[in-house]
């Protein structure tokens, strides 16, 4: 097997290598590619009907999309997901950005320990966080409330903000703030006019990560949400466990589209931030 | 700048403090309460203080003294009034099966007993009150601070004489479960490495435009909801699912020979490998991108065969990525809950699923806390290792 750049004419080894990679890519993408067409299935099946394979238009329909749009359970779940996601993201982004500004400073005492603590919600097994939050938030009367879920999701979302903003700040030229200060700008003005515009892409992508994490979180919701706080993942969980209906595939397709949009936005921000760091 | 904020150390700390306080209250305190529950349980001690005091000088061999019975009768009746009897009974029952109904039934009948001697009255209601094992269970359940949940979580128990012994054979499940979680997570990590390595290599050394496109193929699943991906695997792998249909259509298996690929360990491994693969590809890709591809051709022109050039030149340089990716995948795998719960069936359950079971179904919160505590310590050790080797802030998020 030869390495890609050295290959002028594809050798047998390289063909095998490319075929293996193609198979792995198929493994990665197939689950997503299968869901989308099946969500247009006219029959209540989870598999391709003969009509679908024969590209018969009658075998495809929007009935599952109609079902989720008309079903109050799903629209309420969407409302809850958006409310909890947006509020938790706002909280996580504000606190996370502030903390990242402090952590980026070399003067920060116990920097490594603080960083380890602040990232820990991301690697702690969710079942432990969720069980602990259930006990603790119940004792404060916050379980089965939107406020409780917002606080919980904000806690789980902050590591994403801390990581992305710290990464952006490490590429940031501290001479810029010093220059602003020497020109007489106070710290707030310096932050608003110099630092913030430069780290804005990092802050925004951190916020998108935090939002995606909340929008997809189900374990804490399983423990803490009542009927009135059910989110989209919670409703999907119920759908998979209890009565599996192809309407789930329509919701799944919607979530895939959302994922692609989030990904494109984050990539666009990354490019902006990379060119900003060079400028 | 005004006042004490002139000190840069203080200024940095003031910026970090709000989040530290927030995480402390919303995250650390909850996890701590969970751990406290694994060693501390005041329910029985609070409900039966005098009974436990009277039991403290019981020899443990025969039925205890009349004073114990008198205190127990009074305090159990009070617990019934205070509606804590059910909680007391379920805790005693965990130590000696069958005692829940003995307690609840006896207290109902005790209301009709006017005066002592209480020993005869209680034994008349239920012969179990004459059995020392009943009182051992009550005395043990009365410990406020206890390590018995941790003993339980590693298949040990404390015998009435105070010695520690293994659980009876049919109750030894958790060591095997920890072992299974470890082996499955290791297997998934190796699978991810095996699948992720060539993928990351292809992306890292492709021309920029194609690399961007290929990277997107890794990132789209990464951003896609976990529940969506789990649903997809059900759709693909179930017995009436897409893959089985395909195999039948190709004549590889008969219609009655459809393969069970989901709701078992296979389902857990396949779905979790899929979910965790991007966490392996991204750090590998970051490292491989910095390796000049000319090195391999240089090695080849010096006469090294491909395997030799790979082993001596390329592989050593990718080790930081291999370490970072493997550690991260392993950390995430040992604590995984959702995927095994949805596609693991009976055989594909991991330690997190048993924490959830004891939280929600058996309501044995102490044991849930102990299993969770052991899991948490394992994750913490790996996390510290990750921080030492990679640095937590360098975690790649897509």
Q: Tell whether the model's pLDDT for residue B371 goes beyond 90.
A: yes
Co-location of B184 and B297 in the same domain: yes
Q: Output the DSSP codes for chain A.
A: ---GGG-SS--HHHHHHHHHHHHHHHHHHHHHHHHHHHTTBSSS-SS--HHHHTT-GGGB-SHHHHHHHH-HHHHHHHHHHHHHHHHHHHHHHHHHHHHHHHHHSTT-TTHHHHHHHHHHHHHS-HHHHHHHHHHHHHHTT-TTSHHHHHHHHHHHHHHHHHHHHHHHHHTS-THHHHHHHHTT--HHHHIIIIIHHHHHHHHHHHHHHHHHHHHH--HHHHHH--GGG--HHHHHHHHHHT---THHHHHHHHHHHHHHHHHHHHHHHHHHHHHHHH-
Do B237 and B271 belong to one domain?
A: yes
Asked if B12 has any chain A CB less than 8 Å from its own CB, the reply is yes
Mean pLDDT value of segment A57-86: 92
Distance CA B329, CA A114 (A): 23
Same domain for B97 and B230, yes or no, is no
Domain residues for the domain of B34 are: 3-39
Judging contacts by C-beta atoms under 8 Å, the chain A residues touching residue B22 are 91, 95, 154-155, 158
- Please check whether residues B52 and B30 belong to one and the same domain: no
Structure tokens at A240: 């998979």
Q: Which residue has the higher pLDDT, A176 or B9?
A: B9
Q: Give the mean pLDDT of A78-104.
A: 96
Give yes or no for B288 touching A (CB within 8 A): no
Is the pLDDT at B187 greater than 50? The verdict is yes
Answer with the one of B144, B159, B187 that is the final residue of a domain.
B144
The percentage of residues in chain A with a pLDDT greater than 90, rounded to a whole number, is 58
Mean pLDDT of B270-277: 96
Peptide bond into B209 cis (omega under 30): no
Q: What is the pLDDT of residues B17-27, one digit of tens each?
A: 999 999 999 99
pLDDT digits (tens, 9 = 90+) for A248-265: 999 999 999 999 999 999
Q: Is A207 on the interface with B (CB under 8 A)?
A: no
Q: Is residue B18 part of a domain?
A: yes
Residue pair A158/B18 in contact by the 8 Å Cβ criterion: no
Using one digit for the tens of pLDDT, what is the confidence trace for B188-247? 999 999 999 999 999 999 999 999 999 999 999 999 999 999 999 998 998 888 899 889
Asked, for residue B164, whether it belongs to a domain, the answer is: no
Residue B285: its pLDDT value, please? 95
Same domain, B87 and B182: no
- Picking from A38, A131, A158, the nearest residue to B359 by CB comes out as A131
Is it the case that residue A218 has pLDDT exceeding 80? Answer: yes
Residue B165 in domain: no
Same domain for B68 and B13: no
Which of B26, B34, B338 lies nearest to residue A219, judging by beta carbons? B338
Chain A interface mutation, best of B14, B20, B23, highest count of A Cβ atoms under 10 Å = B23
Residue-level pLDDT at B306: 85
Structure-token pair, residue A182: 């020497």
- The answer, yes or no, to whether residue A278 has pLDDT greater than 60, is no
Query: pLDDT higher for B154 or A168?
Result: B154
Q: With a cut of 80, say whether residue B292 has pLDDT above it.
A: yes
Confidence of residue B269 (pLDDT cuts 50, 70, 90): very high
A112 and B CB contact within 8 Å: yes
Average pLDDT over residues B100-119: 87
Percent residues over pLDDT 90 in chain B: 68
Same structural domain, B231 and B130: no
The lowest-confidence range among A171-180, B44-53, B76-85 is: A171-180
Number of domains in chain B: 3
B352: left (phi over 0), alpha (psi -120 to 50) or beta: alpha
pLDDT on residue A211: 96
| Per-residue pLDDT, A276 | 56
Contacts of A17 in chain B (CB under 8 A): 198, 202
Residue B4: what pLDDT? 58
Task: Identify the structural domains of chain A with CATH numbers, from first to last.
Answer: 4-63 (no CATH), 72-278 (1.10.3720.10)
**Which chain A residues have a beta carbon less than 8 Å from that of B228?**
32, 35, 236, 252, 255-256
Note if the pTM is more than 0.95: no
B246 in the same domain as B123: no
User: Are the beta carbons of A218 and B306 separated by less than 8 Å?
Assistant: no
Are A5 and B8 in contact (CB < 8 Å)? no
Task: Kindly list the residues from chain A whose CB atom is less than 8 angstroms away from the CB atom of residue B216.
Answer: 263, 267
CATH number of residue B369's parent domain: 1.10.3720.10
pLDDT surpasses 60 at A6: no
In this structure, are B71 and B212 located in the same domain?
A: no
Q: In whole angstroms, give the CA distance from residue B70 to residue B129.
A: 12
Is residue B162 a part of any domain in this protein?
no
Token pair recorded at residue A250: 């329509």
Question: Given CB atoms, is A240 within the 8 Å cutoff of chain B?
Answer: yes
| Pair (B377, B311) in one structural domain | yes
Does the residue B269 lie in any domain?
yes
| DSSP output for B230-249 | HHHHHHHHSTTSHHHHHHHH
pLDDT category of residue A1 using cuts at 50, 70 and 90: very low
- Interface A-B: count of C-beta contacts within 8 A: 302
Average pLDDT, chain B: 91
pLDDT of res. B77: 92
Residue A243 is predicted with a pLDDT of 66
Interface contact A240-B19, CB threshold 8 A: no
Residues of chain A with Cβ-Cβ distance to B278 below 8 Å are 28
CB atoms within 10 A of CB B192: 27
Please give, rounded to a whole number of angstroms, the shortest distance from the CA of B261 to a CA of chain A: 15
From the list A260, A213, A68, A38, the residue with the least C-alpha distance to B232 is A38
Task: Flag whether residue B195 sits within 8 Å of chain A, measured between CB atoms.
Answer: yes
Q: Which of residues 308-337 of B touch A (CB under 8 A)?
A: 331-332, 334-337
The string of pLDDT tens digits covering residues B123-154 is 989 989 999 999 999 999 999 999 999 999 99
Whether B22 has its CB under 8 Å from any CB of chain A: the answer is yes
For the cut 90, the answer to whether the pLDDT of residue B307 exceeds it is no
- In A, minimum Cα distance to B345 occurs at A241
Residue B168 in any domain: the answer is no
Q: Which chain B residues in 207-266 lie under 8 Å from chain A, judged by CB atoms?
A: 214, 216-236, 238, 240-242, 245
State residue A279's pLDDT score: 42
Please check whether residues B228 and B112 belong to one and the same domain. no
Say if A84 is an interface residue toward chain B (CB within 8 Å).
Answer: no
- DSSP state letters, A15-44: HHHHHHHHHHHHHHHHHHHHHHHHTTBSSS
B154 found inside a domain: no
- Read off the pLDDT of residues A178-202 as tens digits, 9 standing for 90 and up: 888 888 888 788 888 888 888 898 8
B234 and B376 in a single domain? The answer is yes
Average pLDDT over residues B266-285: 95
Domain annotation covers residue B107: yes
Question: What is the end-to-end Cα distance of chain B in Å, rounded?
Answer: 39
Does residue B1 have a pLDDT over 50? no
């Amino acid at each position: 097997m030869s390495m890609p750049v050295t290959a002028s004419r594809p050798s047998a080894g390289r063909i095998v290598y490319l075929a293996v990679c193609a198979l792995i890519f198929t493994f990665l993408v197939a689950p997503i590619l299968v869901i989308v067409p099946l969500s247009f299935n006219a029959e209540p099946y989870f598999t391709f009907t003969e009509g679908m394979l024969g590209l018969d238009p009658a075998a495809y329909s929007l009935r599952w999309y109609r079902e989720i749009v008309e079903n109050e359970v799903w629209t309420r779940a969407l409302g809850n997901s958006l409310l909890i996601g947006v509020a938790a993201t706002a909280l996580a982004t504000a606190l996370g950005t502030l903390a990242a500004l402090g952590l980026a400073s070399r003067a920060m005492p116990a920097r490594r320990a603080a960083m380890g603590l602040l990232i820990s919600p991301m690697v702690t097994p969710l079942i432990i966080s969720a069980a602990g939050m259930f006990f603790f938030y119940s004792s404060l009367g916050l379980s089965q409330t939107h406020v409780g879920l917002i606080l919980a999701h904000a806690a789980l979302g902050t590591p994403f903000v801390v990581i992305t903003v710290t990464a952006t700040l490490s590429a940031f030229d501290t001479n810029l703030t010093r220059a602003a200060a020497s020109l007489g700008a106070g710290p707030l003005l310096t932050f608003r006019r110099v630092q913030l515009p430069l780290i804005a892409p990092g802050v925004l992508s951190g916020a998108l990560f935090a939002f995606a994490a909340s929008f997809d979180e189900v374990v804490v919701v399983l423990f803490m949400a009542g009927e009135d706080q059910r989110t989209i993942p919670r409703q999907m969980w119920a759908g998979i466990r209890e009565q599996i209906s192809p309407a789930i595939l329509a919701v799944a397709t919607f979530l895939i589209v959302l994922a692609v949009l989030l990904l494109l936005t984050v990539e666009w921000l990354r490019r902006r931030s990379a060119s900003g760091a060079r400028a | 700048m005004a006042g004490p904020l002139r000190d840069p150390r203080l200024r940095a700390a003031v910026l970090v403090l709000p989040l530290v306080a927030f995480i402390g209250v919303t995250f650390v305190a909850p996890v701590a309460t969970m751990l406290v529950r694994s060693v501390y349980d005041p329910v029985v001690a609070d409900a039966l203080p005098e009974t436990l005091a009277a039991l403290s000088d019981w020899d443990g061999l025969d039925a205890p003294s009349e004073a114990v019975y008198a205190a127990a009768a009074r305090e159990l009746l009070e617990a019934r009034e205070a509606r804590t009897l059910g909680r007391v009974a379920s805790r005693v029952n965990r130590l000696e099966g069958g005692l829940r109904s003995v307690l609840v039934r006896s207290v109902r009948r005790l209301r009709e007993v006017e005066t002592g001697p209480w020993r005869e009255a209680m034994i008349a209601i239920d012969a179990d009150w004459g059995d020392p094992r009943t009182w051992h269970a009550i005395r043990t359940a009365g410990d406020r601070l206890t390590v018995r949940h941790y003993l339980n979580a590693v298949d040990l128990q404390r015998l009435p004489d105070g010695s520690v012994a293994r659980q009876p054979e049919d109750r030894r499940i958790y060591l095997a479960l920890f072992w299974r979680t470890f082996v499955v997570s290791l297997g998934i990590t190796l699978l991810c490495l095996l699948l992720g390595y060539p993928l990351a290599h292809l992306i890292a050394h492709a021309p920029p435009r194609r690399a961007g496109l290929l990277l997107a193929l890794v990132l789209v699943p990464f951003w896609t909801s976990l529940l969506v991906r789990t649903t997809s695997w059900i759709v693909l792998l179930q017995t009436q699912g897409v893959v089985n249909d395909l195999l039948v259509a190709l004549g590889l298996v008969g219609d009655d020979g459809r393969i069970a690929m989901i709701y078992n360990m296979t389902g857990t491994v396949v779905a979790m490998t899929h979910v965790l693969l991007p966490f392996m590809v991204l750090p590998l890709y970051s490292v491989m991108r910095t390796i000049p591809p000319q090195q391999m051709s240089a090695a080849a022109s010096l006469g090294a065969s491909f395997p030799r050039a790979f082993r001596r030149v390329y592989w050593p340089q990718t080790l930081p990525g291999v370490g970072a990716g493997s550690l991260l995948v392993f950390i995430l795998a040992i604590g995984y809950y959702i995927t095994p719960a949805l596609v693991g069936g009976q055989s594909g359950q991991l330690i997190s699923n048993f924490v959830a079971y004891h939280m929600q179904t058996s309501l044995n919160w102490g044991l849930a806390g102990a299993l969770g505590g052991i899991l948490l310590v394992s994750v913490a050790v790996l996390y510290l290792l990750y921080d030492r080797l990679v640095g937590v802030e360098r975690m790649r998020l897509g």
